[in-house]
């Protein structure tokens, strides 16, 4: 039986790249906010199944999780980012990022724990360099990613049958990154960023690491081309 992997935010960018990396070896559930958001990648990969749900709607999430019978890999990739100084960032933006980047991850993991324990599963959390340090203009986003790292550390300690890996990539060449750079008022240079495929390869490498090792944190920094 092939292992099953659920990837959130799988419709584009890094999530789609992770799906492509895991598709040869895993049966995939591709998470997205709507069916349309994962339609293209689901068709591309053929046997993958769409798993559309708004992760911040906890009632809908509980209903969607009820249909998952087995899970070997859970990749928390979905997230949001907004930049701005503390003075200029409204509390609604803080709340939005915390809901999407932390609470959605917490609740999805909690609901799936019985399935994850059944298979001694691997939980991968796509964090950020902002989960290791906070820079000016990134306070709200960094706070959410620091919280995500704390959650991963606690999950690893409380659930010793699971492997829990935090991935901390630097900036990645994605549509989200283009929006961030535009908000910062800078010119976009993809050669200064990681490619989605490189980060996806790191995820696959963590998942394929033999069971005698536990890859707890992976940090990737761009090497300008």
Hey, what are 206's tokens?
């963590």
Letter string b/e over residues 171-188, b meaning 16 or more CB atoms within 10 A of that residue's CB: bbbbebbeebbeeeeeee
141 is catalytic: yes
Cross-strand partners of 49 = 29
Q: Name, in order, each residue with C-beta under 8 angstroms of 166's C-beta and a sequence gap of 6 or more.
A: 125, 127, 131, 148, 149, 152, 216, 217, 218
Residue 32 half-sphere exposure toward CB, CA atoms < 13 A: 22
Hey, what are 54's tokens?
């708004």
Candidates 141, 146, 151, 193; catalytic one: 141
Angle, in degrees to the nearest 10, between helices 139-158 and 91-98: 30
Question: Which positions are annotated as active-site residues?
Answer: 141
């Amino acid at each position: 039986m092939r292992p099953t992997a659920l990837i959130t935010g799988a419709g584009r960018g890094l999530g789609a790249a992770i799906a492509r990396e895991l598709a040869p070896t895993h049966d995939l559930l591709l998470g997205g906010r709507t069916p349309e958001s994962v339609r293209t990648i689901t068709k591309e990969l053929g046997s993958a199944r769409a798993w559309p749900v708004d992760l911040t709607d906890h009632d809908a999430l509980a209903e969607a999780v009820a249909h998952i019978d087995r899970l070997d890999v859970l990749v928390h990739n979905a997230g949001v980012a907004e930049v701005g100084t503390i003075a200029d960032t409204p509390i609604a933006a803080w709340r939005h990022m915390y809901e999407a980047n932390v609470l959605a991850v917490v609740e999805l993991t909690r609901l799936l724990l019985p399935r994850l324990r059944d298979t001694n599963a691997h939980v991968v959390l796509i964090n950020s360099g902002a989960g290791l340090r906070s820079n000016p203009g990134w306070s709200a986003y960094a706070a959410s990613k620091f919280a995500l790292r704390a959650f991963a550390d606690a999950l690893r300690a409380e659930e010793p049958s699971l492997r829990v890996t935090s991935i901390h990539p630097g900036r990645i060449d994605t549509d989200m990154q283009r929006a961030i750079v535009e908000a910062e008022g800078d010119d976009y240079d993809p050669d200064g960023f990681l490619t989605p495929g490189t980060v996806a390869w790191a995820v696959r490498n963590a998942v394929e690491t033999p069971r005698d090792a536990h890859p707890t944190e992976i940090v990737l920094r761009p090497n300008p081309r």
